[in-house]
A and B are shown apart, each in its own frame.
Chain A
Amino acid sequence: MFSDIPVTDLTRLTLTEAREGLKAKQFSATELAKAHIAAVEQARALNAYVLETPEHALKQAAASDEKLAKGDAGPLEGLPLGIKDLFATKGVRTTACSRILGNFVPPYESTVSSQLWRDGAVMLGKLNNDEFAMGSSNESSAFGPVVNPWRRAQSSAKLVPGGSSGGSAAAVAAHLCLAATATDTGGSIRQPAAFTGTVGIKPTYGRCSRWGIIAYASSLDQAGPIGKTVRDCAVMLRSMAGHDPKDTTCVDRPVPDYEASVGRSVKGMRIGIPKEYRLEGLNAEIDALWQQGIDWLKAAGAEIVEISLPHAKYALPAYYIVAPAEASSNLARYDGVRYGLREQGRDIVEMYEKTRAAGFGAEVRRRIMIGTYVLSSGYYDAYYLRAQKVRTLLKRDFEQVYDQGIDAVLTPATPSSAFGIGEQGSSDPVEMYLNDVFTVTVNMAGLPGISVPAGLDSQGLPLGLQLIGRPFDEETLFSLGQVIEEAAGRFPVGERWWA
């Protein structure tokens, strides 16, 4: 079925289609890698990659071709991926898109990426993100913003791809890799996936090892994939997940064959619709999309149940205490001594202060300062302790819902479609934070959540629906996500205007 596809169109394949094409020897891993390398070179206007590693990719592809010839292929053999610049890659510059890491070259590999290479994947390069994953638009990157491959109908205005995994989402949407790694602390996988018509899943906290992923807020950070389809994400997650003795919060339980859950019947499943998500002033198009999602799941045999998550509205304010607090602690290590940038000072304290002022961008400095403030003597109980108590209540809300026999919760993924570069957050940082209002609850409760493209708005931009699952029940999310994907269809970017 692929034999008549010219090499330049190999990038249009999904990850699983490419896997089958390689297996059937319709093209080689080297041809597949070359097609992607060319696409990446032609797409520099999108700024999705902060480092291209074509030689590395060709070397890995050649090794994959040997393995494929011998019949010794891994589950991701020869499949070209992009890696978010938050994942440490051995011998390959890793910066979290911050000036403070400068030209940091890790002498080690993150566990998640090492598992992708173990399974035969090919690395095309490192992908742009908001600095230290702090942002919802990819505008805080030291490498500059990523441009969304989507544009409004009849407009050439540049839009954000969402964030923090904006490079990952844009690269997948623009066919600059078959799938990408990403991370999600408050919505950083699901929101950019929704903004670009791609699929993204944040697994349960503890499902993927955090070892070798540059830390933002350790009790919330989780790695996950962004892919072109639900099935592609299922294949990616199986390789990314799994126990790692180097991360004590990484769970020791078997990784299911997630792909087997794609296409499984959802008949009789009980889907919760949280009434608290019907925010005042919710965009009518988002509301209609949500209703559409309800109808699709109903048509597939699921039962729709109204539920209540009374503390959901407090998730975002609690997040803006917990996440900055953890960030202020995690980012204390960037001191100009062990790696990265150093600015000279009269003494060591001035050296620290000047280095950190010059090395961190405005959003990172703000979050470190908020975190330092809420943890400081006299304020800890009023802010941090209270936020952690609210987090307990929020998790209890979900536990009560799942105890009632609810299998998953359906919500919109974002309160709007992609917005223009420079449009949000310049006068009030909270405006930007509101992008994560639907996704952040999931991180605060440690649950898995998937964003699946479900339609286009009146401007012609993609919108996503989010499904939230029980802890470690990603399989149900893949089954339900597939129902939405089949009903809604896929949303490929129309015109390659950047090439």
Chain B
Amino acid sequence: MSVDAATVKRVAHLSRIAVDDADVPKLQGELNAILGFVEQLNEVDVSGVEPMTSVTPMVMKKRQDIVNDGEIASEIVANAPASEDDYFMVPKVIE
């Protein structure tokens, strides 16, 4: 399979990465090189094979459903590019 220019733009948008139209052909070539490389997986007979879900089989430990952290709002927003009163600030979302 290979991607066309429209697919590159669609994937860029799904990835939330702005791509200039002028950069699409180069990106398309690079993505197709990678997709061409992974094509060899089609040679493998995978019928009846379970997909891997955990590389090291183990029972997932559960934690107690209790509060063990908190009251650190100012630490959480400390690295935000914009914050006010311990809230993250974003451009207006609702008209």
Residues of A at the B interface (CB closer than 8 Å) are 104-105, 107, 204-206, 219-220, 245, 248-249, 251-252, 311, 313-314, 317-318, 320-321, 328, 332, 335-342, 344-354, 356-357, 360, 365-366, 368-370, 372-373, 376, 379, 382-383, 385-393, 395, 428-430, 433, 444-446, 471
In whole angstroms, how far apart are the Cα atoms of A314 and B38 in the complex?
9
Pairwise interchain contact A386-B3, C-beta atoms closer than 8 A: no
The answer, yes or no, to whether B22 is at the interface (CB within 8 Å) is no
CB of B67 within 8 Å of the partner chain: no
- Interface assignment of B81: CB less than 8 Å from any CB of chain A: yes
Contact in complex: A337, B88 (CB < 8 Å)? yes
Q: Which of B1-56 contact A (CB under 8 A)?
A: 1, 3, 7-8, 11-19, 27, 30-31, 33-35, 37-44, 46, 49-56
Name the residue on B nearest A243 (C-beta).
B61
Q: Given the interface contacts A104-B79, A245-B61, does A328 sit within 8 Å of B46 by beta carbon?
A: no
Q: Hey, which bits of chain B sit against chain A, CB under 8 A?
A: 1, 3, 7-8, 11-19, 27, 30-31, 33-35, 37-44, 46, 49-56, 58, 60-61, 63, 72, 75-82, 88, 90-93
> Which residues of chain A are near B55, meaning CB under 8 Å?
205, 219-220, 391, 395, 444-446
Residue in A252, A344, A360, A392 whose beta carbon sits within 8 Å of that of B49 in the complex: A392
CA distance A373 to B14 in the complex (A): 9
A342, B15: Cβ atoms closer than 8 Å? no
Contact check: which of A104, A105, A204, A366 meets B31 at CB < 8 Å?
A366
Contact present for B80 and A338 (CB under 8 Å):
yes
Tell me if A336 and B81 are in contact (CB < 8 A). Answer: yes
Residues A337 and B34 in contact in the complex (CB < 8 Å), given A376-B14, A392-B49, A446-B55: no
A370 touches B34 (CB 8 A): yes
Contacts of B13 in A (CB 8 A): 353
For B92, what are the chain A residues with a Cβ–Cβ distance below 8 Å?
347
Known: A382-B1, A390-B46. 14 other contacts (CB 8 A): A206-B58, A339-B79, A342-B82, A356-B15, A369-B17, A372-B14, A373-B3, A373-B35, A386-B42, A386-B44, A391-B52, A391-B55, A429-B33, A446-B56
Complex CA distance for A388 and B79, rounded to whole angstroms:
36
Q: Are A314 and B12 within 8 A (Cβ)?
A: no
Residues of A within 8 A of B18 (CB): 350, 353-354, 356-357
**Complex-state Cα separation, A357 to B12, whole angstroms:** 10
- The answer to whether A372 and B38 touch across the interface, beta carbons within 8 angstroms, is no
Assess the B78–A107 pair: CB atoms within 8 A.
Answer: yes
Among candidates A252, A341, A344, A356, residue contacting B16 with C-beta atoms closer than 8 Å: A356
**A206 contact from B3, B56, B72, B88, Cβ within 8 A:** B56
**A477, B11: Cα distance in complex, Å:** 43
Q: Which of B34, B56, B81 touches A341 (beta carbons < 8 Å)?
A: B81
Q: Is the CB of B61 within 8 A of A372?
A: no
A332 to B16, CA, bound (A): 9
Q: How far is the CA of A321 from the CA of B39 in the complex (A)?
A: 10
CA distance A344 to B92 in the complex (A): 12
Please give the distance in Å from A494's CB to the nearest CB on chain B.
38
Q: Which one of B1, B19, B37, B81 contacts A357 once the chains associate, using CB atoms below 8 Å?
A: B19
Q: Are A338 and B88 in contact (CB under 8 A)?
A: yes
Within the complex, the shortest CB–CB distance from A72 to chain B, in Å, comes to 30
Q: Which of B11, B60, B82 contacts A248 (CB 8 A)?
A: B60
What are some 28 contacts across the A-B interface (CB < 8 A)? A107-B72, A206-B56, A206-B58, A311-B44, A318-B41, A320-B38, A321-B38, A328-B15, A337-B90, A342-B81, A344-B91, A347-B93, A348-B93, A354-B18, A365-B15, A366-B31, A368-B15, A369-B11, A386-B41, A386-B44, A386-B46, A389-B44, A392-B49, A392-B52, A393-B49, A429-B30, A446-B55, A471-B56
Please state if B40 and A369 are interface contacts (CB–CB under 8 Å): no
Residue of A nearest to B91 (CB): A348
A335–chain B nearest beta-carbon distance, Å: 7
B37 touches A369 (CB 8 A): no
- Known contacts A369-B17, A386-B41; is A395 also within 8 Å of B12 by CB? no
Across the A-B interface, give the 3 residue pairs with the lowest CB-CB distance, nearest first: A446-B55, A388-B51, A339-B79
Q: Chain A residues with Cβ under 8 A from B49's Cβ?
A: 389, 392-393
In the bound complex, what is the Cα–Cα distance between A393 and B19 (angstroms)?
37
Q: Measured between alpha carbons, how far is A388 from B80 in the docked complex, in Å?
A: 36
Chain B residue nearest to A379 (CB atoms) is B1
Q: List the A side residues contacting B53 at CB < 8 Å.
A: 388
